[in-house]
Each structure stands twice: as C-alpha cells, then as structure tokens.
Amino acid sequence: MEKIDGKAVASTIKKEIAIKVQEQVKNGGKTPHLAAILVGHDGGSETYVAAKVKACEICHFKSSLIRFDNDITQERLLQEVVRLNNDDDVDGFIVQLPLPKHIDEQAIIEAIDYRKDVDGFHPLNVGRMSIGLPCFVSATPAGIIELLKRYNITTSGKHCVILGRSNIVGKPMATLLMQKNEPGNATVTVCHSRTPNIKEICLTADIIIAALGQPNFVTADMVKPGAVIIDVGTTRVPDASRKSGFKLTGDVLFDEVSAKCSYITPVPGGVGPMTICSLMMNTLKASKKKI
Amino acid sequence: MEKIDGKAVASTIKKEIAIKVQEQVKNGGKTPHLAAILVGHDGGSETYVAAKVKACEICHFKSSLIRFDNDITQERLLQEVVRLNNDDDVDGFIVQLPLPKHIDEQAIIEAIDYRKDVDGFHPLNVGRMSIGLPCFVSATPAGIIELLKRYNITTSGKHCVILGRSNIVGKPMATLLMQKNEPGNATVTVCHSRTPNIKEICLTADIIIAALGQPNFVTADMVKPGAVIIDVGTTRVPDASRKSGFKLTGDVLFDEVSAKCSYITPVPGGVGPMTICSLMMNTLKASKKKI
C-alpha cells in the first residue's frame, strides 16, 4: 500500500506554479491576481481564506482580501461582484462560502463572470465541464484528478465508484471520470444515501472515491484487494484528548482499509491540501485568459 | 412484458398541452410561440423540422420556420439568433442541427439566450440541470423521464445502467437519475466503449438505458429477468426488402430481450416520438417565463 501524500504534491505544485509565474512575468505577461471576498468572521472561513492568501504568496500571485461585515446587503455584495468582474487587474476571484442567511448564495455565484469564476461553481462552468469545453473545474474534483495523474494511477477501463452525489464533489467527479480522456474513460457508478447495496457495489470498484461525509463509513470488507481509495470526507469528530477538541475524520476507516488497498489518501493530508492548490492552478489559467 | 408505447404517450401529452394552452390563452396568457431556424435542405433535418411544426399545430402553439441557404455566414446566423433572443413574441427557438461545416455549432448554441433554449443544449442549461436549478432539459432525456413517470416505473433505490456517455443522452440521463427526487434517487452506472465488462454490469441493472448507437447490442444474456429496458438507439440498417431501403434499428435485440424484461421501448415508437413532445413541453414552460 502506498499512501498518497497530498500535502507533498500540493507543495510541489505550488513551487511549479511559482516558477511558471516568474517566467510569465519575465516574458512580459501578467502577475496572476486572485481576489477573495470574505463576509463576516466565521472561524472556518477565516482559516480557509488565510490559507488561500498564503498560497498566493508561495505561488508569487498578487492577492486581495475584501472584507464585509455580516450585515452587508445582497445588493451591496452584488455591486462588489460586478466591480471585480470589471476590474481588469483581477484575473479570478472567489466569494468565500457560506454567506449569511439573508443572502442568496446562488444569486451571488451566478453574478460572477464565469471567466473569473476560479471556484468553478458557476452553472456555466459546470455545464461547460460536462460538455467537455474549456472551463474552471471546482477545487476538490480538480485536486483528485491531479493526484491520480501525479501517482500515475490510470482510470481508463477501470470501475470508479463514487460515494455521494453532491454538486461540488460527487457529480463533477463522475463527469470528469467518464470523459473521453485520461484521467477519464472510466466506467462510473454513483452511489448515495438511497443506494441499498453500497457494500456489494464497492466490492466491484477499482477506485473508490468516498465523499459522503460519514466518518469511517468505508470498511475493509467493502474493498477489493488492490483498489485505490480516495477519501474526501473531513468530519470533525469530538475527541477530548486533543487540544482542538476534535479529530478530522475521513469517510474511510483508514487502519483497516489501508492494509488491503494499493493506494490511499489519508485524512488529513490527502485530498484536503489539494483543494487550495486547484484554486491556484485555476487562477494561473485565468491569468492566461484561456477561458 | 409490457411494451412502452411512446407514440401513444406522446399523442396524449400533446393533447394535454393543447388543453393547457387553450386555458392559458383564455385566462389572458400568451400563445406559446416556437421558432425554428433551418439551414440548407438536409433530408433528415427537413423531416424533423416539419414534424416539429406539425406538433406545434396539435399543441395550439404558434410556430415560425426561418430558412437560410447552406452558404449563410456564421455572422448572419448569429444576427438571427440575437434577433430571436430579443423578439418578445418568441418564447423559445431551436437551430436545427447539424449546421454546415463552415459554421461553429457551439458558438451558435452559446449565442442563444438560455431562457429561450428549448433544446436544452446551452451550457447554462446543462449546468443548471446538474446543480438542480430550473432549466430546460434536452429532449431525449426529458422524454425518457416522462415515459418512466407515465408508466409508474420507480427509479428510487434502483440500479440504472446507462450505455453511452454522449452530451445529449448519456450524461444528462445520468445526472437526472441520480438527483434527489423521483424519478431520480437511483444508483447510476455509466458504461461506454472503454468499459471492459458491459455484460456483467448490465446483468446487475434494474433499468438499462441503451444509447450507444450500436444496433442490437443488448442481447438477452445481458439482461436480468424483470429489468426495464429503454432503447434510445436509432440506426438506419440497410434493408433491401423495404421501400425506404433501411430498417430503423435500436440498440436492443428486441425479440430476444422483450421475452425477459418487464418493460421495453420498441424502435421505432418508443423513445423517438417523445423527443418532439419534450420540445413542446419545454416551449410551454418557456411561455410561462418560468426559467
């Protein structure tokens, strides 16, 4: 069994991006510029945005953080989105989710110019990805595809079983893996809460992508020997023995399953670090105005 | 085994639509208006467009047919799309495909206002469908969903195996069947040319949707007793004994498979008649300005 080291891959990719940016700028190109809108002071969102700003530094990107209080109106937030759409120096931007309840998240997402939507949440990017047109792919699926590439894990002709049908992981992952390219060309099965025989289906999988948000759901008896296991779960399970009071727990019972599979992503340190990395790759792409 | 009579269902739906339109108009609403752009004189396209115009009559819709010669420039065609986008009387319109080779089909599709894209081919509609937002679903998948509803075939918890990963059938069908509603809530597997063990996977299917375009591909030994079979294939197989010189042939070996399954769509007369019906349903929806 080989552990897929998402942290190391993410670190390598950020260094590669930094070199590409230095070259791009040397050749008269633009310094990629990522802007982030942060509303309120949610602890998780603060942490994520801080990590994104830091990743921008490592990648030699310019970054802007635009803060608003929790009581910002939807109208004012939409104005800011329009301003960023029209700001030629900003290549891509994100609106950190979740937003306060009085704001319609979907309306904000749809107001973003899809050519600057580096989170890949705009319906135009979702549709373009499905059709196979140039687009921004959302962070987690893009990160998983990148991990598979870096570890030379082929998907063509393989049976990929995806657990979970969310808009940001399950569905785009299914689309990407069935496309006519590599990684892709896989037979794809999507299971979810209404699937009666998940165990039986998992046993036929060459690759399992677990994104249910149910800690330790995938056990060894569900895994075919030699399968590849990608664990997207990150549930905070209470743990009094830790300073934080919780343990970040994946959807896969790691100790048991790791003994049986060929590759596995740990939690933390597997898929997680790749998400910010995908955002950086999307921002670099945006700065080249390729979409 | 019950044969799914798509022709009869389509006829019923068109009559239902006609009644709804009469009511809508009586209550001061709009007469739905579908426009179609037809470029050149391709025999197949002429037939399809004529059938669409006739369906509009049955549904009490207004229809407009706009014809151009094969040598129309892309610019001129785009102008016409913009004109229809801005024509308040036109609720929805289609550009009959295929277009001549000097025209970029994707550019034409993307120029259509997605709120009038009753074919459901615009990436915004594809993305909105994936996310679960109000949208126009393309004709064949929408028609299959309608057939399942009309025959009370439940999909929740069932294993649906889709053969084919095309943008207009396989992929949207997968998305619709995994959504959190009924029809939907199914475990979905998408197989295609790179799937090594299609037979084995088909044998686990409660519902098979065959859209490979390979005549008689699905044989009885691939079907679990009692499965539901939806045949999307319509290949013209040469047949000297017929006046037309061909026999419209599905992806399923009908005589063999029909003896084993619970429901089956014949070719012709199954899914085919539903596609124009879906277009009519989308046009009615468009006239209500619900998207």
How far is CA A26 from each of CA A29, A32, A152, A205, B213, rounded to the nearest angstrom?
Answer: 7, 13, 32, 47, 51
| The dihedral sign for the CA sequence A184, A186, A187, A189 | negative
Whether A108 and A232 share a structural domain: no
- The answer to whether residue A291 scores a pLDDT higher than 80 is no
What is the DSSP track for B28-39? T-PPPEEEEEEE
Q: Rounded to whole angstroms, how far apart are CA atoms B165 and A188? A: 10
Task: Return the SS3 of A48.
Answer: helix
pLDDT at B74: 98
User: How do residues B34-90 score in pLDDT, each as one tens digit?
Assistant: 999 999 999 989 999 999 999 999 999 999 999 999 999 999 999 999 999 999 999
Per-residue pLDDT reduced to its tens digit, B244-280: 999 999 999 999 999 999 999 999 999 999 999 999 9
| Catalytic residue flag (residue A74) | no
In a domain, B242, yes or no: yes
Predicted confidence (pLDDT) at residue A139 exceeds the cutoff of 80:
yes
DSSP string, A51-77: HHHHHHHHTT-EEEEEEE-TT--HHHH
Residue with tokens 């950190």: A96
Average pLDDT over residues A238-260: 96
- In this structure, the answer to whether residues B153 and B257 fall within a common structural domain is yes
Closest Cβ–Cβ partner in B122, B131, B189 for A189: B189
Q: Are residues B107 and B161 in the same domain?
A: no
Closest alpha carbon within chain B to A192: B187
CATH code, domain carrying B149:
3.40.50.720
Q: Which residues contact B114 (CB under 8 A, 6 or more apart)?
A: B122, B124, B125, B128, B135, B136, B291
User: pLDDT, tens digit, for every residue of A31-62?
Assistant: 999 999 999 999 989 999 999 999 999 999 99
Q: Which two tokens stand for residue A189?
A: 């099965």
Mutate to test the interface with A, among B106, B156, B178 (most CBs of A within 10 A): B178
Q: Which of A91, A119, A206, A231 is catalytic?
A: A119
Q: Does the active-site annotation cover A52?
A: yes
Asked if pLDDT for residue A89 goes beyond 80, the answer is: yes
- pLDDT the model gives residue A208: 98
3-state secondary structure B160-224: EEEECCCCCCHHHHHHHHHCCCCCCCCEEEEECCCCCCHHHHHCCCCEEEECCCCCCCECHHHCC
A257 and A145 assigned to the same domain? yes
Element (H, E) at B68: strand B62-68
**Average pLDDT, stretch A252-274?**
97
- Bridge partners, residue B209, by sequence: B162, B230
Residues A143 and A248 grouped into a single domain? yes
Which pairing describes strands B2-3 and B263-264: parallel, antiparallel, or unpaired? parallel
In DSSP notation, B122-138 reads SHHHHHHHHHT-S-PPP
Measured from the Cβ of residue B290, the count of other Cβ atoms closer than 10 Å reads 9
Q: Do B124 and A125 touch (CB under 8 A)?
A: no
The three-state secondary structure class of B96 is coil
CA gap B211, B265 in Å, rounded: 12
What is the total count of domains within chain B?
A: 2
CB contact at 8 A, A246 and A239: yes
Q: Could you tell me the pLDDT band of residue B99, with boundaries at 50, 70 and 90? A: very high
Same-domain status, A42 and A159: no
pLDDT(A191) > 90: yes
User: What are the φ and ψ backbone dihedral angles of B34, each rounded to 5 degrees?
Assistant: -105, 125
Is B165 a residue whose pLDDT tops 80?
A: yes
Does any domain span residue B58? yes
Helix axes A6-26, A139-150, angle to 10 degrees: 100
B132, B185, B195 ranked by CB distance to A194: nearest = B185
* Beta bridge mates, B218: B252
Reported for A120-125, long-range contacts at CB under 8 A and 24+ positions apart, including other chains, are: A120/A172, A120/A282, A121/A168, A122/B127, A123/B123, A123/B124, A123/B127, A123/B128, A123/B130, A123/B131, A123/B133, A124/B123, A124/B124, A124/B127, A125/B127
Edge-first strand listing for the sheet containing A62-68: A62-68, A33-39, A92-95
Please give the structure tokens belonging to residue B195: 């799937």
- pTM: predicted TM-score of the whole model, two decimal places: 0.96
Dihedral in degrees, nearest 10, Cα atoms B92, B96, B99, B105: 40
- Residue B20 in any domain: the answer is no
Residue among B131, B157, B195 minimizing CB distance to A123: B131
Q: Decide if A6 is inside a domain.
A: no
Confidence band (pLDDT; 50, 70, 90) for B236?
very high
Residue A120 lies in a domain: no
Q: Does any domain span residue A104?
A: yes
Catalytic option among A52, A62, A260, A285? A52
Locate all alpha helices (DSSP H) within chain A, ordered by sequence.
6-26, 43-58, 74-86, 105-111, 123-131, 139-150, 170-178, 198-202, 254-258, 272-287
- Asked if A101 is an active-site residue, the reply is no
Last residue of a domain, one of A114, A130, A164: A114
Task: Check whether residue A229 and residue A264 sit in a common domain.
Answer: yes
Report the pLDDT value the prediction gives residue B290, as an integer from 0 to 100: 77
Residues A228 and A105 in one domain: no
Q: Are residues B262 and B152 in the same domain?
A: yes
Is the residue at A21 inside a domain? Answer: no
Please provide residue B100's backbone torsions phi and psi, each rounded to the nearest 5 degrees: -55, 155
Q: Give contacts of B178 with chain A, Cβ < 8 Å.
A: 165, 171, 174, 190, 192
**C-alpha distance from A115 to closest chain B C-alpha (Å):** 14
Residue type, B73: T
Residue A89 lies in a domain: yes
In the block, which residue shows the tokens 């949707």?
B209
The pLDDT, as a whole number, for residue B289 is 86
Band of residue A290 on the pLDDT scale cut at 50, 70, 90: confident
Kindly report the CATH number assigned to the domain that includes residue B79: 3.40.50.10860
| ipTM score | 0.96
- B228 and B263 assigned to the same domain: yes
A100 and A158: one domain? no
The shortest C-alpha distance from B163 to chain A (Å) reads 10
- A170 shares a domain with A266: yes
What's chain B's average pLDDT? 97
The nearest CA of chain A is from the CA of B258 a distance in Å of 26
Q: Which domain holds residue A87?
A: 28-114
